[in-house]
A and B are shown apart, each in its own frame.
Chain A
Amino acid sequence: MKLAVWTYEGPPHVGAMRVATGMRDLHMVLHAPQGDTYADLLFTMIERRDHRPPVSYTTFQARDLGADTAGLFMTAARDAHARFAPQALLVAASCTAELIQDDPGGLAETMGLPVPVIPLELPSYQRKENFGADEAFLQLCRALARPMERTERVTCNIIGPTALGFRHRDDLAEITGLLSEMGVEVNVAAPMGATPADIARMGQAHFNVLLYPETAESAARWLEKEHGQPFTRIIPIGANATRAFIEEVRALSGSTLPVDESRLRLPWWAASVDSTYLTGKRVFLFGDGTHVMAAAKVARDEMGFEVCGMGCYNREQARPMRALAKEFGLTALITDDYLDVEAAIEEAAPEMILGTQMERHIGKRLGIPCAVISAPVHVQDFPARYSPQMGFEGANVLFDTWVHPLVMGLEEHLLVMFREDFEFHDAAGPSHHGAKAQPLPTGATAAHAAADEGGSMPPPAAPPSPDSIVWLGCAERELKKIPFFVRGKARRNTEKFAGEKGLREITVDTLYEAKAHYAR
């Protein structure tokens, strides 16, 4: 038993629903009690889908348990087939139905439905949402994909995008465009937009482009083994990774067509002088393994940030994540407990978080700006505008999205110049954000109030240093004059410096000696 307050992933049947809902002409019958239909609103509300997910719930109740829940399942499956006339039927059990062991797959098999019936084993008490999506897509491929002649022209399948994915809609469009520019046609994109008949002809493609290992790596490996289709390993997030991906596709396809980079703005936006202020900003990354690993490289190599922590919530990606973190001189945080993530972020005291909606809330509590780079998703993660993460336009989007939560470049310089100006002070917050500027309070409590409201790290009640180093009043006041976005770092460096020197009190001089010591 494990106490969870918030979860990064839903149960595995929600993952299977993401696959089914992304597809067309496929229906899923889920053996489940009343209440599990809550999952529909994830799709209709968060993603604003204009159709119900193609899922029928058997809706058994307590009084059915001693009686005929298997009969309920068969009725639901028969009705679903009659009403929706799908090309194929997925059948699965949610966590409660798993316990009553009705074997939906076996039951459906005896019914003689005239379409392929694909049973899913989704161990709800061991696995989670991403597993459910990956497994559902694998089983669809195993059941439906037939050996076929390769297409005459070089084609590929794009695999991984699902319903309720983080920017899957736009990534798919961006990568489809990029491949088309390279003369590589997309045979099938799946699960998103595909029908069971499309899955059947996936074997025609020469190779597979795997966009999201979370949802389609098992299928990619199976297709490689059974259908001899190699798949791409590079996730095209960021300018560098997109270029590497292009090379990988060239190697697989033999394409020699040039790719137009004139739309790519991230490199120049990052190199232009306004971006100088981004140099060495300490960022903490957390999310699904794929997005975090890609974003870490972009953060370091393309934005000039310093990555001070990284991790993922999906254990399936723990191994590559640990390896990459090691390369960054860090230890990866692998956990699905958001309290652990919050503690790690508090400890690392970054100047920015690149995370999920959960980290956005952690950032709000700790006063650290946050940009979202990964699922779990929120209605905000489905913008009306085109906003991919992948490819060249994706790189542009990353630049804008990651810079947005921060104080703007020149504005940051001005804040340093004017410091305690009564109007132009850091407690007023970034000028392009909506919140009303707070007037700077005066008097002895001013510094404290500014720290509380200005989004700096909250002054710790007990200093984190083990030897309880004391900040003298004058040093504390001086610290508050330092702009909030570097104040956390200044506090930590000064305490570390004092600890190393064996000092028990921090004076104004200690503060500036530490500053000189750590100057870069």
Chain B
Amino acid sequence: MSIQPTSGCTDTPVLRERGQREVFCGLTGIIWLHRKMQDAFFLVVGSRTCAHLLQSAAGVMIFAEPRFGTAILEEKDLAGMADANAELDREVARLLERRPDIRQLFLVGSCPSEVIKLDLSRAAERLSEIHAPRVRVLNYSGSGIETTFTEGEDACLASMVPALPGTEARELLMVGALPDVVEDQALALLEQIGVGPVRCLPAKRAELDAAIGPNTRYALTQPFLGDTHAALQRRGAQRIAAPFPFGAEGTTLWLKAVAAEFGIGPDKVDAVVAAPRARAEKAIAAAAATLQGKRVFFMPDSQLEIPLARFLTRECGMQAVEISTPFLHAELHRPELELIARGPTISEGQDVDLQLDRVRATRPDLTICGLGLANPLEAEGLATKWAIELVFTPVHFYEQAGDLAALFARPLRRREILRSSHPNRMEAAE
């Protein structure tokens, strides 16, 4: 597939809305981050609502020793600050005593802790002194007043950057929490191409942490890592600009950009990736048969919307009606927007009722939205794909490209199978 030398959607004016947002807050990232960092514990300092959110967002209760919890603020904590800090120290001491395997502790700020101005960075410093060297204590905010869904991961990774050791070595840093199976595939490809040494942020365990410095080159695997990107730049590291590794095309462009930075030409990349790329294209084609010509509407959720719209329009033959993202990071998304043909509305932020009016007016074939909206839209006869699954499922790089396309195709296939009995069969026939 060739890259059209156009500016794509980069000049499309962005529709900015604010109002009710039907999205998760940044605390939700804990659900996947705690599985990725196996020696880390995430302690939310917040309310019963925070605890309830984590439990509900996890969908199923992961009872296998969850490495996250909520220090629930109570009436007496709100009365005096000294008290709240002492209480926090006590709860952390108790927790670390019960979990001697913990090496990294994240104090995660929430809406209530931000509003009462509980200073978790000072608390993290204090607790680091108390529990060093066994445990490193960091802090970030996952609050809904500051972060939207995946921005929680961004805030978490950004908080880790200043604590990483320095180095002069020329290394690649792959940034973004990927499922282990995907990370291993990416590392294997990079090794075959000849790029190395490669480090990952976040690392699986604290002792595997990367070192960074002016010769570090980093490539983001997720589009929502704006603050992490800024923190890495402050350490002198340099970003390799590229589309994100979704789909066969995105993965190839990402690998070529990384390879070029390390002085390796595109021919070498083509040779290495020929087989997995062909597999990916074949797998995508199977799902694309269902998606071809269908119209897709992205509601804002994970900031993956723009790269995924690029994948669906260029590799699966879909037409984008509206591509909406909670936050549009112009610099990071430029390589993606360049690839998307003009036409769709690009929007940032949300006023959910107004946006639902647009969904109903345009009646897309597939709407990508949060779990709170999916069943109500299905009941109106509109097929949906839950956005959260795109974050929880392995979807990056070649071997997952077919799975990614299939995630979008499945709701359409299912609708077709159930056509004769679907409660909306009359509406659907209209």
Q: Contacts A41-B370, A61-B146 known; A10 to B20 CB distance under 8 Å?
A: no
Measured CB to CB, the closest approach of chain A to B372, in angstroms, equals: 3
Q: Complex: how many Å from CA A178 to CA B146?
A: 52
Q: How far is the CB of A178 from chain B (nearest CB, A)?
A: 30
Residue A44, interface by CB 8 Å:
yes
The answer to whether A99 touches B63 (Cβ under 8 A) is no
The answer to whether B73 and A35 touch across the interface, beta carbons within 8 angstroms, is no
Q: Does B111 contact A (CB under 8 A)?
A: yes
Given A11-B47, A95-B48: A4 in contact with B372 (beta carbons within 8 A): no
Q: Report the bound CA distance from A79 to B351 in whole Å.
A: 11
Q: How far, in whole Å, are A33 and B77 apart by their CA atoms in the complex?
A: 21
Using A33-B143, A44-B374, A361-B61 as known contacts, say yes or no to A5 and B66 having CB atoms under 8 A apart: yes
Q: Which listed residue (A35, A38, A44, A57) contacts B111, Cβ 8 A?
A: A35
Chain A binder among B84-92, B162-170, B335-343: B84-92
Cα distance, A389 to B170, chains bound together (Å)? 66
State how many angstroms separate the Cβ of A429 from the closest Cβ of chain B: 20
> A60, A125, A358, A361: which has the most chain B beta carbons within 10 Å?
A125
Question: Could you mark each residue 12-47 of chain A with 1 if its beta carbon is under 8 Å from any beta carbon of chain B, else 0?
Answer: 011000000000000000000111111111101100
* Among B49, B73, B112, residue most surrounded by chain A Cβ atoms (within 10 Å): B49
- How big is the B interface, by class? 35 or more
Q: Is the CB of A79 within 8 A of B61?
A: no
Say if the beta carbon of B53 comes within 8 Å of chain A.
Answer: yes
A128 nearest CB neighbor, chain B only: B48
List the one stretch of A48-56, A185-193, A408-416 in contact with chain B: A48-56
A507 beta carbon closer than 8 Å to chain B: no
Q: Does B376 contact A (CB under 8 A)?
A: yes
Using A37-B23, A96-B47 as known contacts, list a sample of 11 further A-B pairs with CB atoms less than 8 Å apart, ordered by residue number in A: A3-B69, A5-B69, A36-B53, A37-B24, A37-B372, A39-B56, A48-B375, A50-B378, A59-B20, A61-B146, A99-B112
Q: Are A62 and B114 in contact (CB under 8 A)?
A: yes
CA distance A228 to B87 in the complex (A): 48
Q: What's the nearest-Cβ distance from chain B to residue A364, in Å?
A: 7
Complex Cα distance, B21 from A34, in Å, reads: 6
CB distance from B180 to the nearest CB of A (A): 24
Which B residues touch A57, using CB under 8 A? 20-21
For the complex, give the distance between the alpha carbons of A126 and B78 in Å: 11
Q: Are A4 and B115 in contact (CB under 8 A)?
A: no
Cβ of A357 within 8 Å of any chain B Cβ, yes or no, is yes
A36: B residues at CB distance < 8 A: 25, 49, 53, 144
Q: List 25 A-B contacts (CB under 8 A).
A: A1-B84, A2-B91, A3-B70, A4-B51, A4-B70, A5-B68, A9-B48, A10-B52, A33-B25, A33-B144, A34-B21, A34-B25, A35-B143, A37-B20, A44-B372, A45-B372, A50-B375, A52-B373, A57-B20, A57-B21, A59-B19, A61-B146, A95-B47, A96-B111, A96-B145
Please tell me if A263 contacts chain B, counting CB pairs below 8 Å: no
| Cβ-defined contact, A365 with B63, below 8 A | yes
Partner of A34, one of B49, B72, B144: B144
State the CA gap A128–B56 with chains docked (Å).
16
A100 on the B face (CB < 8 A): yes
- Please tell me if A124 contacts chain B, counting CB pairs below 8 Å: yes
Cβ of B118 to closest chain A Cβ, rounded Å:
10
User: Does the CB pair A125–B56 fall under 8 Å?
Assistant: no
Give bound CA distance, A128 to B28, whole Å. 21
Q: Which of B53-96 contact A (CB under 8 A)?
A: 53, 55-57, 59, 61, 63, 66, 68-75, 77-78, 84, 87-88, 90-91, 94-95
A6 interface residue, CB < 8 Å from B? yes
- Interface pair A1/B374, CB less than 8 Å apart: no
Q: Is the CB of B56 within 8 A of A42?
A: yes
Question: A2's closest neighbor in chain B, by CB?
Answer: B72
**Residues in B lying within 8 Å of A, measured CB to CB:** 18-28, 43, 45, 47-49, 51-53, 55-57, 59, 61, 63, 66, 68-75, 77-78, 84, 87-88, 90-91, 94-95, 111-112, 114-116, 143-146, 148, 353, 370-376, 378-379
A102-130 vs B, Cβ < 8 Å mask (1 yes, 0 no) = 00000000000000000000011110100
Interface size on A, residues (CB 8 A): 56
Q: Given the known A-B contacts A4-B51, A34-B25, are A49 and B20 also in contact in the complex, defined by CB atoms under 8 Å?
A: no
Please tell me if A65 contacts chain B, counting CB pairs below 8 Å.
Answer: yes
**With the chains together, A9 CA to B72 CA distance in Å?**
13
What B residues does A99 contact at CB under 8 A?
78, 112, 115-116
Check if B20 sits within 8 Å of A76, measured CB to CB: yes
- Nearest chain-A residue to B144 (Cβ)? A35
A94 to B25, CA, bound (A): 14
- Can you name the residue of chain A whose Cβ is closest to the Cβ of B22? A37
B56 contacts which chain A residues (CB < 8 A)?
Answer: 38-39, 41-42
Q: Residues of B contacting A7 with CB < 8 Å?
A: 48, 51-52, 55
Q: Which residue of B lies closest to A40 (CB)?
A: B372
A1 to B78, CA, bound (A): 10
Chain B residues whose CB sits within 8 angstroms of the CB of A124 once the complex forms:
47-49
Among B19, B55, B111, the most chain A Cβ lie within 10 Å of the Cβ of B111
Complex Cα spacing A3 to B43, Å: 9
Give the residues in chain B near A79, CB-CB below 8 Å.
19, 353
| A501 located at the interface, meaning its Cβ lies under 8 Å from any Cβ of chain B in the complex | no
Q: Which 4 A-B pairs have the closest CB atoms?
A: A35-B25, A35-B144, A40-B372, A50-B379
Assess whether A52 is in contact with B376, with CB atoms less than 8 Å apart.
yes
- Tell me how far the C-beta of B392 lies from the nearest C-beta in chain A, rounded to whole angstroms: 14
Report yes or no: B376 in contact with A49, Cβ–Cβ below 8 A: yes
A11 near B52: Cβ-Cβ < 8 Å: yes
Given A33-B143, A96-B112, are A38 and B61 neighbors across the interface (CB < 8 Å)?
no
Given A38-B24, A76-B20, does the pair A3, B94 have CB atoms closer than 8 Å? yes
A83 within 8 A of B: yes
For A356-386 the 0/1 string (1 means CB < 8 A from B) is 0110011011000000000000000000000
Shortest beta-carbon distance from A40 to chain B in Å: 3
Interface centre among A3, A94, A364, A365 (most CB of B within 10 A): A3
Which one of A37, A44, A361 contacts B63 once the chains associate, using CB atoms below 8 Å?
A: A361
B317 shortest CB reach to chain A, Å: 30
What residues on A are CB-neighbors of B47 within 8 Å?
11, 95-96, 124-125
Contact check, B48 vs A10: say whether CB atoms are below 8 A apart: yes
Contacts of A2 in B (CB 8 A): 71-72, 74, 91
Residue in A10, A95, A100 with the greatest tally of chain B CB atoms within 10 Å: A95
Give the chain A neighbours of B51 by CB distance below 8 A. 4, 6-7
Give Cα A35 to B59, complex, Å: 16
Flag if A41 contacts B372 (CB, 8 Å): yes
Residues in A whose Cβ lies below 8 Å from that of B57: 38
Q: Across the interface, do B375 and A45 meet the contact criterion of CB distance under 8 Å?
A: yes
Residues of A within 8 A of B61 (CB): 6, 357-358, 361
Report the minimal beta-carbon distance from A120 to chain B, rounded to whole angstroms.
15
Contact of A44 among B24, B45, B146, B376 (CB under 8 A): B376
Q: What residue of chain A has the Cβ atom nearest to residue B52's Cβ?
A: A10
A62 vs B146: C-alpha distance when bound (angstroms): 6
Least CB distance from A2 to B in Å reads 5
Across-interface contacts of B22 in A (CB, < 8 A): 37, 40
Q: How far apart sit A410 and B177, CA to CA, in the bound complex (Å)?
A: 52
B375 lies within 8 A of A49 (CB): yes
Cα separation A308 to B375 with both chains bound (whole Å): 42
CA distance A411 to B144 in the complex (A): 54
Cβ of B375 and Cβ of A37 under 8 Å apart? no
In Å, the complex CA distance between A65 and B112 comes to 12
A1 close to B144 (CB less than 8 A): no
Query: Does A34 contact B95, Cβ atoms closer than 8 Å?
Result: no
A56 nearest CB across to chain B (Å): 6
Minimal beta-carbon separation of A42 from chain B (angstroms): 6
Which residue of chain B has the shortest Cβ distance to A362 in the bound complex? B63
B349 to chain A, nearest CB (A): 10
A1→B77 contact, CB < 8 A: yes
- Let me know if A33 and B74 touch, CB within 8 A: no
- Measured CB to CB, the nearest residue on chain A to B149 is A35
A62 to chain B, nearest CB (A): 4
What residues of chain A lie closer than 8 Å to B75, measured between beta carbons? 123, 125-126
CB distance from A190 to the nearest CB of B (A): 23
- Docked Cα-Cα span, A124 to B27, in Å, equals 19
